[in-house]
Structure 1
């Protein structure tokens, strides 16, 4: 265990600023003292953390690993200190949130806005990205994930079901006909979401019977909004999350198909790195998120399914 936290904080400051002189000024210590602290830390760990030349510096692989962990640790210590020092603890500090693009644009933005109005001492850094980020390495406090979570070191809270519906535009169905059973999808143009765990395999269930159908089509995309618009334009059949397709379903621009079958559905989760669930700003945000979405998500209410 690292015993000298001053040395660790000095290393983090140097690594973040990329310069010994600027880090020394920020910490209020001499450059020689900063160099000694890093050298002592390297000696304690038995590895080199920073490659230094007369003109530049860079982190070693060990240095990058330590930086990610130390930043998370100092963030936790800072949040704990803030909570302890405040007799009437209120959420405060910077909250870093990651979410899928479509969900963030359609739903999370307004939820974050309401949270900021409720918690004036919190600042939110919201990143929308459909890839699965590494929360620890990239320094996120909480991420929204829409999937069936496998075993993980992350803490997860299930917020709601993420309902999926097979649908197509009336114009497409008039041209190509309507599938009567999942197996009929193999003869149709299907719109494929690239980030689906098994993108070319759609899974259905009915009365304990399963049907796993390998599909194909001319349009693949990593963005659900693009695929919903393509479905509305009559380009094919889509396995669509209702949080994206709800308006098109309500208006009749998309028609639900295979109503006696259920698509195997993921869930909507808030996931957090170890230890973050007890940080007040994180806990407050997740509670706000769960309340705003509801056990039955508001976008699923009164759908014509």
Structure 2
């Protein structure tokens, strides 16, 4: 039995969540793939995967084997490439998780640019606003717009995006005057839903600090939908500059109370470990470290 190949097959079964998908990728039949894993279990003397008609569930032993073996096999692959003089080649598949709004508005074009630069890499961009478990879900890198980060990861803060108070001119035509932060209580405030920290706003101007609790009847947990609300003139609200700066620049939205500042939204690049990073992951990390701070509405973090 080729134990190394069996371990590689085991990793792919876990990551793809299916014997059939792993078999198709390896160009073998599903029964053949199942036999390979069964032989591996027999050789190790433990059950690795609990099989059912609907799902595959790792045993505790299977989870430990996956966690320990994945990095070792990637290091082995890179070592072989180095011996063969292929260290400059970045090949293989990468899975990247990112927030929905940022992904649709900014990251999709970056992904296409990266794939153009690295034609041997396959990239899957998974858009979700929840915090993903990188190891559990087979994610190589994640981009986060929050300091609320998963445990036991490497997190590099690359940039921040100023949070701005904005509204459409059609809303302002009939709304009460807004001369200072306290006046927000008289306005219809639209808030991004699901983030408790945004229920209060701390405005800073010089040595003055004003904390207000805006009121409004509508919350929505979608950045793009929040922007649509502003453009429709149904209320005012705060948004990171990466979402609205271009609309301010072209006059579609008005930046309100510009002499007051709010907390910025941080941007982090997150990955499981500094060790055992394959060449393809290193290539993407270097690309994102360079290009993410250059996106509209972001300020690079001083290093």
- How far did residue 273 of structure 1 move? 1.0
Superposed CA offset, 1:150-194 (max 9, x none)? 584211222221221011112212222243332332332211112
Tell me if the contact between 1:92 and 1:281 (Cα under 8 Å) persists in the aligned partners. Answer: yes
Q: Distance in 1 between matches of 2:251 and 2:100?
A: 25
Match of 1:253 in 2: 252
Match of 1:164 in 2: 163
Equivalent positions of 1:224-303 (< 5 A) are 224-275=223-274, 278-294=277-293, 297-299=295-297
| TM-score scaled by length of structure 2 | 0.79
Q: Distance in 1 between matches of 2:298 and 2:247?
A: 12
Match of 1:35 in 2: 38
| Gap runs ≥5 in structure 1 | none
- How far did residue 203 of structure 1 move? 3.0
Equivalent positions of 1:88-99 (< 5 A) are 88-99=87-98
Check 1:196–1:86 CA distance in 2 against 1; reply closer, same or farther (3 A cut): farther
Tell me if the contact between 1:186 and 1:215 (Cα under 8 Å) persists in the aligned partners. Answer: yes
Check 1:289–1:18 CA distance in 2 against 1; reply closer, same or farther (3 A cut): closer
| TM-score scaled by length of structure 1 | 0.78
Match of 1:69 in 2: 67
Counting matched residue pairs gives 290
Helix, strand or coil for the counterpart of 2:145? strand
Equivalent positions of 1:131-142 (< 5 A) are 131-142=130-141
Superposition RMSD on alpha carbons, in Å?
3.6
Equivalent positions of 1:144-163 (< 5 A) are 144-149=143-148, 152-163=151-162
- How far did residue 218 of structure 1 move? 2.1
- How far did residue 262 of structure 1 move? 0.9
Match of 2:184 in 1: 185
- How far did residue 111 of structure 1 move? 1.2
Q: Distance in 1 between matches of 2:58 and 2:90?
A: 36
Superposed CA offset, 1:17-75 (max 9, x none)? 448xx69x6799897785353145354xxxx544468x898535526634752674366
Check 1:27–1:52 CA distance in 2 against 1; reply closer, same or farther (3 A cut): closer
Q: Distance in 2 between matches of 1:34 and 1:224?
A: 44
